[in-house]
Every structure is written in C-alpha cells, then in structure tokens.
Amino acid sequence: MYYIIKCIFYSTIIQYHTVATNINKHKSLLPFIHIYLPIIAWVLFLFVILFISISHLHKMAPGHSPCASCKLLRRRCIKDCIFAPYFPSNDPHKFAVVHKVFGASNVSKMLQGLPLHQREDAVNSLVYEANARTKDPVYGCVGEISHLQNQVSQLQMQLATTHAEILCIRMQQEPLAPTPTNGLVPVHPTHNNMLTTDRKVASNDISYSCLHNITNPNNQYFNFTSNGVIAYDDLKRESSSLWT
C-alpha cells in the first residue's frame, strides 16, 4: 500500500513539471487545456487503481469484514467483538430478528454472562425464540412447545390403545391348557358343557377387559396431559419474564 501511494505521488509530480514547462513555452490557454487533460486522466486512473487495491486487501484480510451486528448498528467491528463468531456478515437477517425482539444490549449482556462453550447454544435459542415471537407475538415458542406436547400425548394414547388391542388378540388366540386324563375318572358330558360355558365366559371377560383398557387408557397418559399443562404454564411465565 505504501509503494502504491508513493508511485502515485511521484507520477503526479512528474506530470506537473511537464505541464508547467509546456505552459511556459506556449503561453496560451488552448495548449494549456490540451496538455493538462492527460494529467487529470492519469491521476483519476491512479486513484481508481488505489481504490480497487484497498478493496481487494479488505476482502483478503481476515477480521476486517464487519459482522452482521456491527453492520446493522453502523459501528466499527473490533477484533474481540462478541457478536462476530455468531452473527456473520453473510446472514444479516439472523441478527436483525434477534435485535428486533430482544435488543442488541440485552443480547450482549446475556452472552457476556455465559461461558464460551454455552454461547452458541444460547444464540441458537435466541434466534429460535425471536423467529417464533415474530410468527406468534402472543405466545412465541411456548405455543410451539404446547402444540408439540399435545401431539406427543395423542401419540402415546394411540400407542396404549394399540398395545391393548394386541394383548386382546393374543389372549383370544392362546389355546386353553388341556385337561389331564392319565389315571383320572372320565369327565361326565355335563361337566364338559360346563367347561365350554366357562371358556366362553372367560373369553367374554377377556374381551370386556381389553375393550375397557382400550376405551380407558392408563392414568399415566392423562397425567402426562396435566403435566403438559403445568409445563405450558411454567414456559409461559418464563417467556413473559424475558420481556420484563
């Protein structure tokens, strides 16, 4: 950079002396204009080369490109900028959303109070919360979490129903244990009819029990729903605390 500026300076001095000598020789305005125009063009050309060189050096040198936060806030990006590792300049929307919801000063204080290995996760959480808050200004990410919890509860109830149906089918298909006949008195036909009746009653009891389990799942799944409501209230209070 120093050599480029030095070359421009000496070239300008040489052209100036050349123009001054020609003016003293001709002593007229028209030759002065014809002689002075080339030096103007030459100086402009050198300044264009200087500008291109400086721009190229800024692009090639690491750390000179401002991060998205400093670019948005229109301030100088220092070497130890706390936003630079997490808000690159090629993704300005990421910081814009976080700054709109939380504010740059609050985000800076939050990151400074965390260790280095937790800052990236914190930034990702802030970005998720900011995007959710933009979509749903009332509940934010709490609404998303509640919706996911309801889906989990429904899937668990469907799973319990499926397990109960499988259990019913298996119990109905299992053969009853054969009655031993070695050394025993033959069973009277009336007794056989009673055994058949008992099997039917047992089968009906199994079917009723399975249907009862299907229509009335375990209480733990309903407890999950209540726990989801409690977690929803806790998350809602936590989300509200971020705004205070």
pLDDT tens-digit series, residues 56-94: 555 444 445 788 889 898 888 888 899 989 998 888 899
Average pLDDT over residues 126-130: 92
Could you tell me the maximum CA-CA distance found in the chain, to the nearest angstrom?
150
Q: Residues 193-209: what's their mean pLDDT?
A: 50
Quick one: DSSP state of residue 138?
T
> Which pLDDT band holds residue 180 (cuts at 50, 70, 90)?
low
Q: According to the model, what pLDDT value does residue 204 have?
A: 54
Say how many CA atoms lie within 13 Å of 235 toward its Cβ: 18
Rounded distance between C-alpha atoms, residue 209 and residue 172, angstroms = 12
Q: Lowest mean pLDDT of 73-82, 163-172, 198-207, name the range.
A: 198-207
Question: What confidence tier does 5 reach under pLDDT thresholds 50, 70, 90?
Answer: low
CB 67 within 8 A of CB 83: yes
Residue 71's CB is within 10 A of a number of other CB atoms, namely 15
Is 163's pLDDT higher than 90? Answer: yes
Token readout for 44 is: 């402009």
CA contacts within 13 A on the Cβ side of 123: 21
Whether the full predicted model's pTM is greater than 0.85, yes or no, is no
The average pLDDT across 152-159 equals 96
Evaluate if residue 221 carries a pLDDT over 60. Answer: no
End-to-end Cα spacing for the chain: 51
Average pLDDT estimate for 8-30: 55
Residue 47, pLDDT above cutoff 80:
no
For range 165-173, the mean pLDDT: 90
